[in-house]
Amino acid sequence: MNSLNTATARAAEIVLEEGLLGDPVPLWKQTWKRLLRKRSAQVGMLFIGFMVLVAIFAPLIAPYDPNQVLLGVEDIKRREAPCIHMFGCDVAKPQHLMGIDGNARDVFSRIVYGSRISLMIGIVTVSAALVMGVLLGAIAGYFGGWLDNIIMRIMDVILGFPSLLLAIAIVAVLGPGIVNALLAISVVSVPGYARVTRASVLSVKSQDFVAASRVLGASKWRILFTRVLPNSLTPIVVLATMGVAGGILEAAGLSFLGLGAQPPMAEWGTMLGSEKDQIFSAPHLVFFPGIAIVITVLGFNLLGDGLRDALDPRLNS
């Protein structure tokens, strides 16, 4: 009896959610409700929301300018450990929640401002790679033939190289800097979006509604951009969400090697690279930037997992 009641309640929930009685519920609302029920998505959105708020209100949160040298301004030493008054630090000493780096700058302020740079890196690299990859993959999948072969063989050549090594090679040719690092990460990310888009377009273009549009006389480009591509975006959205995390990690790796953001820019990878030799003598200089990277990357990965589950009809039947 209990199992029957449970099944009945679930059926009623599906009817209400899917709009089987009355007006149908829009797909985006259904997806949003499913997403909010996923524990991984909840945690991911919590982490991402926290980092976004930190980035927006950085001038209000950070007690110092991220590039301000405090040596001579305050009674501090280079690479001094964190000083938190409520945890027993002498109240006569200036408070520095995450300590002082090798250039006598406040680590907490640099971490806070670094959230702006890292989020910008993730969004910009994914946006650029998404536009190029989706366009190339959609054209290859819809038109096929020699155009498909040329585009996908180029993507295969790029995929033949480890992404980080290829990004390093591109930056080495163009020169170190944040702009060139963004360009390199975008280029190496294009094949992933192109392959996923091509596979999705191949699946959608054989559907009946595409054939109906073709019979009604719609042009190929119109069918591609108004019928096929909008119905192929589900896996692309999930990949793009996780791609933000990948972009942040790769940019941090390039900056760690001295090829990405250049000093004195407050970027987490640069902070790690500058103080990597102090891991035993001043571990806070490595620990806090590393934790910031972990929280941000984990947030986008968890959100991507939840989004994938919410958009998968097999998991919501």
State yes or no: cis peptide before 264, omega within 30 of 0.
yes
Per-residue confidence (pLDDT) for residue 22, from 0 to 100 = 44
Q: Are 266 and 239 in contact (CB under 8 A)?
A: no
pLDDT band at 18 (very low <50, low <70, confident <90, very high): very low
- Domain residue ranges in the chain: 54-267
Query: What's the CA angle centered on 135, arms 236 and 234, to 5 degrees?
Result: 20
In the chain, % of residues over pLDDT 90? 42
Cα→Cα distances 310→41, 91, 200, Å: 9, 50, 18
Q: Are 284 and 98 in contact (CB under 8 A)?
A: yes
pLDDT band at 128 (very low <50, low <70, confident <90, very high): very high
Among candidate residues 274, 302, 283, the one with its CA nearest the CA of residue 114:
274
96 pairs with which residues across the strands?
Answer: 83
**Chain-centre distance for alpha carbon 237:** 11
Of the CA atoms within 13 Å of residue 260, those in its CB half-sphere come to: 31
Cα→Cα distances 278→27, 230, 251, 275, Å: 52, 50, 22, 5
Per-residue confidence (pLDDT) for residue 50, from 0 to 100 = 95
pLDDT at 16 over 50: no
pLDDT at 207 over 80: yes
Among candidate residues 136, 28, 131, 79, the one with its CA nearest the CA of residue 274:
79
pLDDT digits (tens, 9 = 90+) for 151-189: 999 999 998 888 888 999 999 899 999 999 999 999 999
- What is the mean pLDDT of the segment spanning 235-263? 89
Give the range with max mean pLDDT: 110-119, 250-259, 300-309.
Answer: 110-119
pLDDT band at 36 (very low <50, low <70, confident <90, very high): confident
* Domain covering 54-267, topology: MetI-like fold (1.10.3720)
DSSP 62: -
For the whole model, what pTM was predicted?
Answer: 0.83
pLDDT at 5 over 60: no
pLDDT band at 313 (very low <50, low <70, confident <90, very high): low
Q: How many residues does the chain have?
A: 317
Q: Are 118 and 297 in contact (CB under 8 A)?
A: no
